[in-house]
């Protein structure tokens, strides 16, 4: 099955996570990074999830899952350690046309989480269509070495320059040439040098 690689806007969307333990933790964290409105349904949560609750970053309903919990939900993550519960969540989500991911259960997923390299606004996601998560993780580690932390500031700079060029250069072809010149080979090294820092691994 071919998958459509997309980056989904979740800001302000209600997202349900069923489960509050270690299985759910990383999924919850990525949802919070996406500014989703996160609701966690679980009889108990682990220490990290409890920290997010106390910080007001998400809502926790201390109970077991009920079908009515899907009301008004845009997307759901089934992340309990009970397969039967995860399967129920998926089946009910399917009936309501709600996107669902049952963690570590490809047969009960409408989408998969990619292995992601994050450098501020830059995100590189890797997927093997669920065939080899181990390979995806290995590639993520390699890309983390290739794309160091200096990329965060550079991409933010490129965004600011893009806005400046778009407002100051009326000619479309000239805008395109200037924007592409900003990312020519060696541009990152020049940017880092101008900031007084040396990129990890040298020039890219």
Residue 35, pLDDT above cutoff 60: yes
* Residues 76 and 173 placed together within one structural domain of the fold: no
Q: What pLDDT is recorded for position 202?
A: 43
Q: How high does pLDDT run on average in the chain? A: 92
Residue 92, pLDDT above cutoff 50: yes
* Residues 102 and 4 placed together within one structural domain of the fold: yes
Q: How many residues does this entry show for the chain?
A: 204
Q: What pLDDT is recorded for position 129?
A: 81
* Residues 26 and 108 placed together within one structural domain of the fold: yes
Q: What is the total count of domains within the chain?
A: 3
Mean pLDDT score, 142-159: 96
Mean pLDDT score, 139-168: 95
Q: What pLDDT is recorded for position 3?
A: 84
Q: What pLDDT is recorded for position 39?
A: 98
* Residues 108 and 118 placed together within one structural domain of the fold: no
What's this model's pTM, rounded to 2 decimal places? 0.81
In which domain, by residue range, is 169 found? 150-194
CATH number of the domain encompassing residue 69: 3.40.50.720
Burial class of 42 by CB neighbour count within 10 A (0 to 12, 13 to 18, 19+): buried
């Amino acid at each position: 099955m071919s998958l459509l690689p997309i980056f989904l806007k979740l800001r302000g969307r209600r997202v349900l996570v069923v489960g509050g333990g270690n299985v759910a933790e990383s999924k919850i964290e990525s949802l919070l990074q996406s500014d989703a409105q996160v609701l966690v349904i679980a009889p108990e949560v682990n220490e990290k999830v409890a920290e997010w609750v106390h910080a007001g970053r998400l809502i926790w309903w201390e109970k077991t899952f009920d079908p009515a919990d899907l009301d008004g939900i845009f997307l759901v993550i089934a992340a309990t350690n009970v397969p039967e519960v995860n399967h129920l969540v998926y089946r009910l989500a399917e009936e309501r046309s709600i996107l669902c991911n049952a963690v570590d259960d490809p047969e009960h997923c409408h989408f998969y989480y990619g292995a992601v390299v994050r450098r501020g606004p830059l995100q590189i996601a890797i997927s093997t269509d669920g065939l080899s998560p181990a390979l995806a993780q290995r590639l993520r580690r390699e890309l983390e070495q290739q794309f160091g932390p200096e990329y965060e500031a550079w991409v933010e700079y490129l965004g600011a320059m893009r806005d400046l060029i778009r407002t100051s250069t009326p000619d479309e072809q000239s805008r395109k040439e200037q924007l592409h010149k900003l990312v020519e080979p060696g541009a990152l090294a020049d940017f880092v040098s101008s900031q007084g820092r040396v990129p990890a691994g040298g020039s890219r």
